[in-house]
Structure 1
Amino acid sequence: MKPNITPLVMPKWGLSMQEGTLSAWHVEEGQTIRPGQEIMDVETDKIANAVEAADGGLLRRRIGEVGQVYPVKALLGVLAPSEVSDADIDAYVAAFHVPAADEDEEDQGPAYRFADTQSGRLRYAERAGEGDPIVFIHGFGGDLNNWLFNLDAVGAGRPVFALDLPGHGGSTKTIPNPGLAALADAVEQFLEAMGLANVHLVGHSMGGAVACAVALRDQGLVKSLTLVSPAGFGSEINTSYIDGFVAAESRRDLKPVLKDLFADENLVSRQMVDDLLKFKRLDGVAEALRGLATAMYRDGRQVTLLVDELAALKIPILVIWGAKDAVIPVAQAQALQNARVEVLADAGHMAQMEAASRVNELIRSQTAR
């Protein structure tokens, strides 16, 4: 009989990740691990974060050494019941094969694809599965990689999509009439192009407002809303962040602005700054961002408030907010009376990255209906 052994491996966060540094263990050999528990910290050239256990069990062997760099899918630890012998574990470790990049394509995480819509060509990531789809929508200046800690963890066995809004990421950079309506149009067209219905929308910041707008337009299309620090819940917003992001043309200008996104400023890595500068220098990006900022955040305030309309929605709404949000005030989390609200103590505006474990748990609960 084959021994009941479960591997713990180096995760793959985003399609570009090839390796990571094991920077800390949070569990000891002989400890029983539960699914979703943070078991180690991994650092890449883009960001560091905790790794959640996909499976539960007894940690029999820690193989990965702190400070060492390992390729994606490398064996870092072994879970097995106490009745499995040390010899069986030794044999498993010796025989373990790290898949090459082109092996086991289904297990490589979401794949980048493109959809042609009336709003232009939209880049998206997709993870196949069964059940009602979950669709992730990023915020201002972001892209689908803002969800790199969430897609696989939330969508195990479920169809999951994350798209780049027009003006962002790998999507078209042209937005003829920049604003909330244009972005909602693009999401609706994407859902239609993909043949998606009964969707659970998950939106962050500006993407939260977009998700709300889509739900308000077609209440039969959207099954639930999960909103992470959403725009549209109050007039106040840190427009110095918006203006600074749009105007920044150098690392020196951009890095201080990005610190507003996180409770832990150390998460703003050099690679993050460089990647965003590269994006901002693409043709059409400056015009798109400036147009959206002018349309949605005029005179230091949010232009479009959605709370009154959302109060009439009959679908489940979950609002997640970082208590240390420096972009949109956490007080706005209480604006919608028909929403479940979760405030995360040690997170800022990017709670889906800083408190990924808890955010994933909340999204799984919200979309399990």
Structure 2
Amino acid sequence: MPTEVILPKVDMDMATGQISRWFYKDGDTIKKGEPLFEIETDKAAMEVDAPASGTLRNVTGAQGVDIAVGSPVAWIYAEGEAVNAPAPTADAGKPTTVGPDPDGAKPCCAKEAGERRGVRATPLARRIARQYGIDLSSVTGHGPMGRIGREDVEAAQQAAARARPAEAPVRTEPPAPAPGLARQPAPQPAPAKPRLVVNGETPLHVVTLREGEGTPLVLLHGFGSESASWRPLLAEFTGPNPVLGLDLAGHGGSVGRVADGFDALVSGVEETLRALGLASCHLVGHSLGGAVASAVAAGLAIDVRSLLLLAPAGFGPDIDTAFAEGFARAREEAPIRSWLRHLVSDPAAISDGFVRATARGRADGVQSEAQTQLVSRLFSNGAQHFDVRGLLTDLAMPVKIVAGAEDRVVPIRHFTGLPGRVALHVFPRTGHMPQIEQRADVARLLRELTR
């Protein structure tokens, strides 16, 4: 009996999704576990692996149209198995699906899928390539089966940048405050749109998550994460501001930058913001990124207009170091799934697709090695090696803290007794990732700060 391939649920509130590309065409031989197609929702983009080995037949999932979750999109026939048209499903005839073709014809542009088969790339690599205007057919992939990854696209972009004259970034600095006075946001001219730079020009890896106008919004992820983790929140955020994501040292695209402690993480962000020529920005930080954002806001390198801290570290002495140490070591899907679900109140908030995507990014051990070295410099024996709580006292910009009542990593008691002008928002049935479990409300709070 053939194996039915269905459109999976890759996001907790997903009802429909779109297949953005097939990596194989009708009649191709595939192996179980190989990437079969890429699915996109308004909040996620990831590859779906083949559930069985055999011959791909009766491809009914058209590219670029809405398909209901759970609908069949193809069938995989084992060797020697007779190929017959599958029976119509309950969804047959609806405009969101395309009925099966008994002859095996592919209604979703089989020729195009066949042509694209030779260009294998991760969703993140495709997004970065679109951002830089890079033709993926000109990029050499170094991943499994020649798949193009983020590093391959960035290497191609850097090579292209070396072939043309580099544009010097514009750097400006806010004036120093008068002695004895708390720093106030200094009047600044309207900031220029951030120049999209080659990552080799900045100390940390920078991703333009959204183009826009006005004061830029800079996002700093938590321990073990990277800038791509902000996309679910940005699906809810409708502000006009340009949005930049920075990968902290030892993470994501900055995995090669070594940080010997918390101060090095902070200086890396400051140096990167200055290299981008930003005179001012809004800062958002999650967990470790929240602590780093607090220190950057308290410094003099950048004029921070507002500060949104999501379950920030550095506000109390204790922390769940078992999570940080365990996740830093994790490379395989099973432990990664366990640690990710430790971060939320509802395990359903962490989809299997998200787990698989995370596991693929850590499978080579590079992230694991860098973060294992870093974790010992930040935490040990249930304690944090840094404290940013006192920095909030003299901050002049608006500050909001968002916390989950069921956070198992950072105790909620850390956020009691803060200065009265610091707004604290505590959500019930929420863990350490309010930007995932309460994304709509977090986006609303962010809009309030960036108006």
Partner of 2:339: 257
Partner of 1:138: 221
SS at match of 2:309: strand
**d(CA) in 1 for partners of 2:221, 2:276:** 18
Q: Map 1:295-306; keep pairs closer than 5 Å.
A: 295-306=377-388
Could you report, residue by residue, the CA deviation over 1:287-343 in whole angstroms, capped at 9, with x for unpaired residues?
A: 320222111112221110111122121111100011111111122222522410001
Distance change (3 Å), C-alpha of 1:332 and 1:118: same
Cα distance, 1:184 vs. partner?
Answer: 1.5
**d(CA) in 2 for partners of 1:359, 1:284:** 32
Partner of 2:40: 19
Cα distance, 1:64 vs. partner?
Answer: 6.8
SS at match of 1:124: strand
Partner of 1:237: 319
Partner of 1:154: 237
Instruction: Give the aligned CA root-mean-square deviation in angstroms.
Output: 3.4
Match of 2:402 among 320, 323, 348: 320
* Equivalent residue letter for 1:115: N
Distance change (3 Å), C-alpha of 1:238 and 1:126: same
Q: Map 1:3-152; keep pairs closer than 5 Å.
A: 18-20=39-41, 67=69, 111=131, 114-117=198-201, 119=203, 122-152=205-235
Distance change (3 Å), C-alpha of 1:189 and 1:293: same
Partner of 1:344: 427
**d(CA) in 2 for partners of 1:155, 1:164:** 23
Count of residue correspondences: 287
**d(CA) in 1 for partners of 2:225, 2:431:** 15
Higher strand share: 1
Partner of 2:290: 208
Q: Contact 2:403–2:427 (CA<8 Å) still a contact in 1?
A: yes
Cα distance, 1:167 vs. partner?
Answer: 1.8
Could you report, residue by residue, the CA deviation over 1:227-268 in whole angstroms, capped at 9, with x for unpaired residues?
A: 000011111111111111122233232222221111111233
* Matching of residue 332 in structure 1 with residue 353 in structure 2: no
Distance change (3 Å), C-alpha of 1:220 and 1:279: closer
**d(CA) in 2 for partners of 1:262, 1:252:** 16
SS at match of 2:401: strand
Could you report, residue by residue, the CA deviation over 1:50-92 in whole angstroms, capped at 9, with x for unpaired residues?
A: xxxxxxxxxxxxx97854779xxxx99xxxxxxxxxxxxxxxx
Cα distance, 1:218 vs. partner?
Answer: 1.7
Could you report, residue by residue, the CA deviation over 1:91-150 in whole angstroms, capped at 9, with x for unpaired residues?
A: xxxxxxxxxxxxxxxxx999477423563x514123222211111110001111221122
Partner of 1:288: 370
Unaligned runs of 5+ in 1: 1-8, 22-41, 47-62, 77-107
SS at match of 1:261: coil
Partner of 2:86: none
Partner of 2:151: none
Q: Map 1:173-192; keep pairs closer than 5 Å.
A: 173-192=255-274
**d(CA) in 2 for partners of 1:43, 1:143:** 15
Partner of 2:246: 163
Q: Contact 1:111–1:126 (CA<8 Å) still a contact in 2?
A: no
**d(CA) in 1 for partners of 2:68, 2:317:** 46
Distance change (3 Å), C-alpha of 1:179 and 1:44: same
**d(CA) in 2 for partners of 1:135, 1:11:** 29
* Matching of residue 356 in structure 1 with residue 439 in structure 2: yes
* Equivalent residue letter for 1:332: H
Q: Contact 1:229–1:333 (CA<8 Å) still a contact in 2?
A: no
Q: Contact 2:282–2:450 (CA<8 Å) still a contact in 1?
A: yes
Q: Contact 1:263–1:347 (CA<8 Å) still a contact in 2?
A: yes
Match of 1:225 among 307, 310, 315: 307
Q: Contact 2:202–2:276 (CA<8 Å) still a contact in 1?
A: no
Q: Contact 2:285–2:310 (CA<8 Å) still a contact in 1?
A: yes
Distance change (3 Å), C-alpha of 1:329 and 1:115: same
Could you report, residue by residue, the CA deviation over 1:162-209 in whole angstroms, capped at 9, with x for unpaired residues?
A: 12222222x132233332222222211221222222211000000001
* Equivalent residue letter for 2:367: V
SS at match of 2:240: coil
SS at match of 2:266: helix
Cα distance, 1:219 vs. partner?
Answer: 6.9
SS at match of 2:444: helix
TM-score by length of 2: 0.57
* Equivalent residue letter for 1:184: V
* Rg (Cα) greater in structure: 2
Cα distance, 1:210 vs. partner?
Answer: 1.0
Partner of 2:137: none
Unaligned runs of 5+ in 2: 1-14, 19-36, 48-64, 73-94, 97-126, 133-195
Q: Contact 2:285–2:309 (CA<8 Å) still a contact in 1?
A: yes
SS at match of 2:265: helix
**d(CA) in 1 for partners of 2:214, 2:38:** 28
Cα distance, 1:357 vs. partner?
Answer: 0.5
Distance change (3 Å), C-alpha of 1:111 and 1:347: farther
**d(CA) in 1 for partners of 2:255, 2:276:** 21
Larger deviation: 198-207 or 277-286?
Answer: 277-286
SS at match of 1:196: coil
Q: Contact 2:398–2:422 (CA<8 Å) still a contact in 1?
A: yes
* Equivalent residue letter for 1:116: G
